[in-house]
Amino acid sequence: MNIGLFGGSFDPIHRGHLALAQAAASRYSLRQVLFVPANVPPHKQKQPLTAFIHRYAMVALATQDERGFVPSLLEAPESAPPHVGTAALGRPAERSSAAVNYSIDTVRRLKQTLKKSDRLFFLIGMDAFRDIAKWREARALLAECDFIVASRPGYSLRDVAESLPEDLRPPAAVTRPFHKQPAKGDLVLPGVTLHLLEGVHQSVSASTIRAAAAHGKPAARWLDPRVADYIRKHGLYRGKHT
């Protein structure tokens, strides 16, 4: 079975996230896509985040009508409430509420629960992928699973290749012609398999939504209606300039 892992802060989850997951599920026959809100994302340790329980709740609301989309507690803090069913897949028995969530640890923990015949795909946007070489144990992470990278206009195949850890990059003589080729198709190299998913970029970001909500401006066009209603009822982002 093909399984997708889609991690992020999801603060909040929006239509861009859902579009990426829907396109990936369709293109690569993903039977499940696990949406994994991070408790403490490594790149946002010094930034204020909405409480995990709210971000998890919004993910659950946004995915409830999508077959195979599963809100996951893989990176939940120890204090998160228990949940039944597949949403609890891979939840650790113990974790400090302040522990940083590294993708390599999450992937390894998840793979311990999968069958040998299962194939794991890691969903990621192009902007995040550009920093992949800086991630913890990046080389090992890229070897653990296939990556589905949501491409966007302006990026070339050379940009993708040069984002890899140095020891995984093809020689410069090989990648030089790539600058004329758009980032699409598959890039299979020793130790890494990338699937470049084009045509799913949407001009929306969580920071834009938070800023709109902070100023009392409508943000519903970027959100599932249930998520928009949840934000309004709980007063999330109100008065916060992010």
- Per residue in 10-21, pLDDT tens? 999 999 999 999
- Per residue in 137-172, pLDDT tens? 999 999 999 999 998 888 899 999 999 999 999 888
Q: Examine residue 223 and state whether it is found in any structural domain, yes or no.
A: no
3-state SS, residue 71: strand
Q: Examine residue 235 and state whether it is found in any structural domain, yes or no.
A: no
Report residue 84's pLDDT band, with 50, 70 and 90 as the boundaries: very low
pLDDT for position 170: 85
Which tokens is 115 given? 């069958």
206 and 240 Cβ atoms separated by less than 8 Å: no
Q: Examine residue 226 and state whether it is found in any structural domain, yes or no.
A: no
* Residue 85 belongs to domain with CATH number: 3.40.50.620
Q: Is the pLDDT of residue 85 over 70?
A: no
- Per residue in 111-137, pLDDT tens? 999 999 999 999 999 999 999 999 999
Orientation of helix 15-27 relative to helix 52-63, angle to 10°: 50
**How far, in Å, CA of 111 to CA of 8, rounded?**
18
Which tokens is 167 given? 């020891």
Q: How high does pLDDT run on average in the chain?
A: 87
Q: Examine residue 238 and state whether it is found in any structural domain, yes or no.
A: no
How many domains would you assign to the chain? 1
Q: Give this prediction's pTM.
A: 0.88
**DSSP letter assigned to residue 182:** B
**Averaged pLDDT, 43-57:** 85
| Domain that includes residue 123, residue range | 2-201
Q: Examine residue 193 and state whether it is found in any structural domain, yes or no.
A: yes
